Each structure stands twice: as C-alpha cells, then as structure tokens.
Chains A and B, each alone.
Chain A
Amino acid sequence: MDHALTQAQLDTVSAHIKAHQHVPGGLLPLLHAIQDDIGFVPETTYPDIAHALALSVAEVHGVVTFYHHFRTHPVGKHVLQICRAESCQAMGSAALENTIKANLGVDYHQTTTDGEITLLPVYCLGNCACSPAVMIDDEVYGRMNADKVHAIIQEVCHG
C-alpha cells in the first residue's frame, strides 16, 4: 500500500533527517522523531535516510522492522495496547484480550473500521502492581476489566 506524504510531512521528515544525520547512533532517534510526528515511518523515506546516514536502504529497512515499536503504515487515531505478560495473565488478561478484540471487532495489529483504534499487544507496561493493564496512547490504566476499558475508549474517542 502506498502512503503518499503531504508536502508538510515531507518537510518534517527532511528536517528530522538534517537534525539527526551527525548524531552518533542517530538512526533510532531519527525514526522515533519521524514516527512521533507523522504516525509511522514511511518506506518511501528509506532512501533519503540511508543517504544522509551513510547506510544502505536494506540497513534502514532492517532496523525499522527489527523493533516492534516502529511501523510502516498509518494507524488509527488512538493506539490501544493490551499487556500480555505474566503479571497481567495472573490477573485474567487472556480473557480481557478476547473480550476487547470481540468488542472492537479487530485482532492485534488491526484498526477498527471507523479508524479510531488500532489494537496492539505489549509485553509489560511496568504497571504490574495493578494488573491487568492497558495503555491508550501515552496513558496507562490499571486493574482493568472489559467494562472499564470500554468506558475509557468512549472517553478517549468521544469524550
């Protein structure tokens, strides 16, 4: 799928490349900066990144795809991450995952049809004292159940 970037997005990418090209080990900070601003790392930016950092396109592709955090496609307006790690499992996260998937009508790495929520798995949010935990955008929520998650989604999307 091709995601044509707007001129503003292209300018953002160029500015970030310029700011990071001489930073030691600057590729990860650069990829973060791009994804923070435009929501993903478009594959069409690989050649410019590679050229500026004296890497091959394959190396850039290798780094982007190695890390779970980086994505090459746009996501929904909000990202919902459900913790799948042991502490949350001990407090019933497996059932919570299934209910949320059914309620949203999506599996992991998919976006709801209204484009609001992208569902992702995550392995530990550091909120293990209050399992099960979920994260919506940059906020963590503890001691969750399906009703509470539903209420938070409503608030975040329509609040």
Chain B
Amino acid sequence: MVKVYVPIDSTALSLGAERTAKKIIAEAQQRGLSLTLVRNGSRGVFWLEPLVEVATAEGRVAFGPIAPEDVTSLFDADFLNPSSASAKAHPLYQGLTDDIAWLKKQQRLTFARVGITDPVSLDDYLAHDGYQGLKNAIQLSGEAIVKVVTDSGLRGRGGAAFPTGIKWNTVLNAPADQKYVVCNADEGDSGTYSDRMIMENDPYVLIEGMTIAGIAVGATQGYIYLRSEYPHALATLNEAIRKATIAGYLGENILGSGKAFHLEVRRAAGAYVCGEETSLLESLEGKRGLVRFKPPLPAIEGLFGQPTIVNNVISLATIPIILDKGAQFYADYGMGRSRGTLPIQLAGNLKRTGLIELAFGVTLRELLYDYAGGSASGRPIRAVQVGGPLGAYLPEHQFDTPLDYEAFSQIWAVLGHGGVIAFDDTVNMAGMARYAFEFCAIESCGKCTPCRIGSTRGVEVMDHVIAGKQPAKHIQILRDLSDTMLHGSLCALGGMTPYPVISALNHFPEDFGLSNKQAAA
C-alpha cells in the first residue's frame, strides 16, 4: 500500500498539517483509494510546509505547501502515483525530497533523522542507525566516553559554547553517591526552534544522548527541563521515554550492561531566566528561579547539591552520532575552534525560513540570500539579530561574517543557539533597543541590582531618546548604564542585554536621532 507522509511537527501543524492529513484520509476514502498515512517529523523546510510526501522506489516525492484546500487537486492529479505525468504537472510538485536544493546542500548530523522517521517509533529510530552510539558507549569506560566527547570538539550549543567534554570530565571526577544529567530544554530565545524540533521530531536521539552522558559520568537520574510553551514536545518525549523504558533502553539495567539511567520530563513555567543553568536548577528543586552565585559550578554542586551535567538539547542530541561515528568524524566538520555542525534557524522576515544544519563557517549572507532568498516582504534586509534576545544586531556590512564562535565575538556579537532573525527596512532600531530592556525587566529574576533596576531605567532612558529629549545626554546615560549591566550583572540576562542595545545604537545611530558623526563621538 502506498505510504503518504504528513508531518506532525508543531510548526507544520501551525500551518494546517492536521487538517491536511484528515482531508487526505477523507478524500482517499471517498475515492475508494487505499493508502497508509505516516505522521513523520518535519524536515524543517518550513516554506514548503505542510509538506506531503509519497514513498516511491526512488525515494520520497514531495508536494508542498499543501493546504487542506489543495488536497482535492492532488488526488485529481493522481499524486499517489508520483511518476505520472499529471502528478509531475501539479503546481506544488517538488520532485524527490532529497533533491530539493535547500535540503541537499545541508550537512545533517544531529538532524540526520529529523523529518524522515515517525518520531515516536522506536523501530524506525533503530532502523535509521539509532542507539548505535549507546551500544558503543556501554563497551567503554567513563573516561573513554568523555575523551571521545572532548576530542570531538563539541561545545555547548545552548549559547555559551563551553567545551562539553571538559564539563563532563569535571562531573566524572567529582565523587558523589548521586549525580544527575539535566537537559536544558527551556528554549526561550526568539528565533530559535531547533530544540523543539529535536524533541518533537526525533526524541530518541536526545534520550540516547542523555543516557550516554549518564553512563559516562555515573549519573543514574536525568531530567529534561522543558518549557511549558511546548505541549507537543512534552507529549512526544513522554511517549518516547515510556517506549524506551519498556524496551530496556532506559531503566535499571540498560541493554543488560548493569548500568542504570532513569529519565523524567519536568515542565518549566514560563520564566525566561530559567534557561540560565543555575536558575534552572533552582527551578527543578521546586524554588523560584533565582540565579546562583558561581562557584560552586553545577558540575561540582548542581541539582540538590550533587555533581550535575547541565547541557542544552542540541549538545546532548549530538552525542549519539559522535559515539557512533567517532570523534574525528565530527571534528572534521567546522572551522577554527568551532568544530562540527550548527543547526541554524532562519526566522523573522525571510522568504524561505527553516532549519539548516551546516558545518561552522557558512556566512550570514549565504544564509540570508542563497538559502532564505531575501526578505519575505521583498524589502531590503536592514538588520539581523543572531543568538536570541541577548544577541547583537548586525548591519548589512557584517553579513559576510562566518558563523563561528570566535568570528562573532570579534565583532562584539554572539552566535548563541544559532537563531537568525531578519528585519526589513521598516524596523526602528531604537524601538528594538527599548524592547530589549523591556524584555529584561519582565524576565529579570531580581537577584542582582544591575539587571533588576538597570532594565527598568533602560526603558525610561530609551523613552527619552525616542522622544528626542536631550539625546546627547541620554545616549551617554544609555552607554553608562549598559556598561554597568555588562560588567555588574550576575548572569547573561542582565549582562548581555547591552548587546542588542549598544549594537543597535552603534550600527543604526540615525534611529536614535544621531548622525553617524555624533554617534562616533
């Protein structure tokens, strides 16, 4: 029976994929045709979602974007027989999915299975190289696993880019009766959705990565701290954990190795600051998410005072392929000290948005124009914010910067979690600077003064600037205030809010009522 795929990813659903799927079933019944409908993950080609695929001997053939009202015309064109002339003549026929240029040029390692498999099918996961990494890991000592991770050059994909192997080594060498692995799935940065995609579309790869982490450092309990805005990810993860436990991939005796690892999803509750690791740990302990002083590092005294690995979803989901293919395989991708690949998320005002996984080194310009095809509005792209609400705004003359942690830090910008938000020339950058302070004021945990008070003072100062009141004086106050927050805040929320603010001011002074010359003074 012919297999038809309609994604179950929440962005695909947000574009009507559920109704498209139902319409396909109904239309097939009406016409007396039989088909098997598979709800796969999304490949992240969101400009073609809902992407309907039909399995053939040559591979899957894609049609998209298929709104529910396009379904009848698909059947009229005999799309279940995609090699037919009528199917090929359908205006939404895209050819073999694997040949879509936007996908074909990518280097999918962490996202290798995403969009291809049925997310909660363990059989599908196993049939696509799933659990090969864990099988290798259980043959190795903790030290040997940590060495593989260290040698791969993997750095924390949550944004801080700290070497993952070094963090694991600290936990490995911290003696304790109980250790923990915590996955930071509080993906609050605007413009980012790669964590969500992994959890909804390939949950087992995250579960496998956490299990390997647990075995490596001797932690028997893991928690996924998941933002409450992701109900679909919650359901998918819980279902996958249930199935993995039944099959012996989680629990007291993993694959007969005698090693235990238990996993539980905990829901966050809408506080952005809980994406900061120590605030997250407080929240997991059932408290207000107040940022902790460091040291002690969470690797030494983390959850409930015990040694704890805290890693982002993408970092942990990249572990299985590293343990499967080896450290060198992964390290061969990338540039400089940024090894491997980065799942880049194109967002905002762009024509072709979606998930692009590539080795470090691709430039913003390639992403914005070659992949995304320019702005959605058709107007010039004026500014791009990379790395979430705490990332700098980049003007056009910086679009040739390669995606590399060090290259971004040289231009006082951050790569963060790999989110890229484009704005066209209707954006007012003083307004965006004001918003950065407003967001910080709403989300500050309140523990340190620069963030708690500085964010509110920042909104007030920006109101004066926007109103044109004594701009020179208020711009000076803005710079002083940003300097205080930058150097005096306890965590990145207060400490990096100046990035969007000052980059907006420096690159777009005209929006702050200044000439370029005044801005330089």
- Chain A interface residues (CB < 8 Å from chain B): 24-29, 31-32, 53, 59, 62-63, 66-70, 85-91, 122-131, 133, 135, 138-143
Contact = CB atoms under 8 A, between A and B. Distances in A.
A140 B14 contact: yes
A90 B283 CA distance: 32
Contacts of A28: 266-269, 283-284, 286
Given A123-B188, A128-B192, A140 B353 contact: no
A65 to B, nearest CB: 9
A131 B427 CA distance: 15
Contact of B191 (A27, A32, A53, A86): A86
Given A32-B267, A69-B270, A127 B188 contact: no
B145 to A, nearest CB: 26
Contacts of A143: 15
30 contacts: A28-B283, A28-B286, A63-B288, A66-B445, A67-B269, A85-B389, A86-B191, A87-B191, A88-B190, A90-B348, A90-B424, A122-B229, A122-B270, A123-B442, A125-B229, A126-B196, A128-B193, A128-B345, A128-B347, A128-B353, A129-B11, A129-B346, A129-B353, A130-B11, A130-B49, A133-B14, A140-B10, A141-B14, A142-B15, A143-B15
B335 to A, nearest CB: 26
B193 A140 contact: no
B271 interface: yes
Interface in B215-240: 227-232
Which 5 pairs from chain A and chain B are nearest by CB? A85-B190, A27-B286, A67-B269, A128-B347, A90-B348
A68 B271 contact: yes
A90 B13 contact: no
B306 to A, nearest CB: 11
Given A90-B423, A124-B188, A25 B389 contact: no
A125 B13 CA distance: 13
B13 to A, nearest CB: 7
B289 A66 contact: yes
B501 interface: no
B421 interface: yes
A124 to B, nearest CB: 5
A91 B376 contact: yes
Interface in B401-459: 419, 421-424, 427, 432, 435, 439, 442-443, 445
Nearest to B303: A25
Contacts of B193: 126-129
B196 A91 contact: no
Interface residues of B, number: 61
A87 B190 CA distance: 6
Contacts of A126: 10-11, 187, 192-193, 195-196, 227, 229-230
Contacts of B287: 27, 59, 63
Interface in B339-355: 345-349, 353-355
A129 B270 contact: no
Contacts of A141: 14
A70 to B, nearest CB: 6
B304 interface: yes
A86 B348 CA distance: 8
Contacts of B347: 87, 90, 128-129, 131
A24 B267 contact: no
A15 to B, nearest CB: 19
A90 B422 contact: yes
Contacts of A139: 13-14
B102 interface: no
Nearest to A62: B288
Contacts of A62: 288
